[in-house]
Structure 1
């Protein structure tokens, strides 16, 4: 976008998230800023809050018992308008909607690949090659996705981005942009599923064969193994169990931790922690441990928290974003309103209405999988999907900041 030829240009430092609304994931339209400093579309907040009885920030959950007066943030509106004008002039200069810059293209097979066709290869070798090609496709789609421009919107077109307005009034450009973005997300999701199945069907067989030959102890995927053995947690999970500790550098000032750094609690008063760019502005915290390979399992006691999220995230995750709402984080979330859901690839999947008392998190970076279990009373698999990480992943936690005393505890794994 910085390379537009004529008219206004979009500054290279202006990213999509700078002018985006986390509720509708679109460009801010009639932006309003709450006392906590977070900004959203006015229509998005009105719809989200409904009739009350509480009015809290969707990002940090800071709120009030009384409805807040929503005043237009003229600075953000000016920035959004100039952004739209620059994009519009860029489209006019190029004679239409600019296509996203292509990502790195996979190399053609070449002579080496043609020669390899003649040589017999095992199913495992074919599976490994297919998995690598799928990984390249995932990277290409992500590159295209990151370069896709924001949909055209704003107060002038009088469109409610949440969809409360009649969609038949929407401009073709907005509809096409939204459809293209959704299609790209679906493609990425399908590619990750394919990669996971390839790894499970081919690489898993290789590990199973090695196990038979006595090279490794155990290796099948988590979905093919029983969670319990004789009423106890399966040995394959126990052998991979860890007991991570909370990282004080990332700890929000709204939270406090126990001496052993394995229990985090919503504080009754803001804590006087020193400022750090690594510290969350929302009620969230990372663990110190980071994983880029291997298999890891840990458990979190959620019985004393009314609204929470547990999962994994990259250390690069923005400190003013919420766990699961970024592309470098995934989580299991209990909303406190009888709804259990998973946030993965900025997409929510509702799982049910039963709250797990203890959540088991299994991260298998060798096979590229993330799984959540309920392990308190009746052990069961809640969710499992392929996951990839361009940087190491940390155990991550979020607690509802309006309920002081709410706590999450990393408990020892019981065999």
Structure 2
């Protein structure tokens, strides 16, 4: 159709001949037909009626549908133009010959005259049908590639949408756990404050009681001294000399029996230094009961979906995932593994893992770059330095694994790293014995590594931080 028309071709077709209307007429029922088609229909019919709705019409010569005829003429002209353009497209613009060949070098359809011209001389040419088949195959391959890329982009977008949702869930969960932990700290500080103030009040009561008792005794002495002074004044009055002399000895004995009450004893005041000296430090020391220090914690973003981590990220165990876990690049997808959140590229470090009851675990260190979408053995050649317990047998995961003969079952495993010396040691914390030591020159940052398929947890144990005084 021409660009100015918006009706589909079927709306311009006669219901009788199913072709574009020629000299269309309009019946009173609003149906249109070619004039010749309607006349032929009426010639074979017993009554003048509409071929579509069978409604009778009284007019032998229905009026022409001029608007529809104009539309049909415009459509016919447009189709003629398209057919002419299509015919022109099949001819060589330079030679007017039909395009029958395809030049592989120039990637253009050409005619037989073009093939012998200088422009295409020596070029590889194929028949249009054969070239079209090859090009169609390439287009299909390109289409498949684009479809695959589109699918990949849609997957990336879907993953991005899931990541946004997961970030919101993470933020809510982290905020709740932070509030819970601060609530414990607030409660601890409240109790410490309460105990500190109680100690102040207790000392205050003791000191006040002591001073009050001292004041009572002093008041009694004051009364005694006052009474003695009054009597002395009476005895010393110029009255009867004989009386003075007769009472002199008893009066002096009474004076000599009086003792001056001592000053308040040392320590009568509140001991401010006991209550305020290093107060925050002393509270911090007590806080270690509710705020233990862990040199290593777990990274939830690396944990396999079948691993469950404790809220404080210090314990891990195997469990069925309750919800779908986001498939992020850091996460292990093939095996029940996880890494610690802190990497080491210098210095010495150690941490202790309680394995009590867990009979299926691998512990140690791993490079950041270890494969996470493939199931590989946890050995040094793959970037792992680990100790393993499985089927009741302890093994150092060398190549091949080294079976360890132990006198008992270590419950607390200490992992020690000396990055500069290139040593990874595993020790039985309770016995103080070395189970195995790897020697390796590290090429990149290493992370604590954990694996388990047991429903009983592996637990990281807290350590006591040390405070050193610098001169």
TM range (shorter): 0.3 to 0.5
Q: Which has the higher helix share?
A: 2
Larger Rg: 2
Give the TM-score taking structure 1 as reference length. 0.39
Give the TM-score taking structure 2 as reference length. 0.34
Structure with the bigger RCO (C-alpha within 8 Å, sep 6+) is: 1
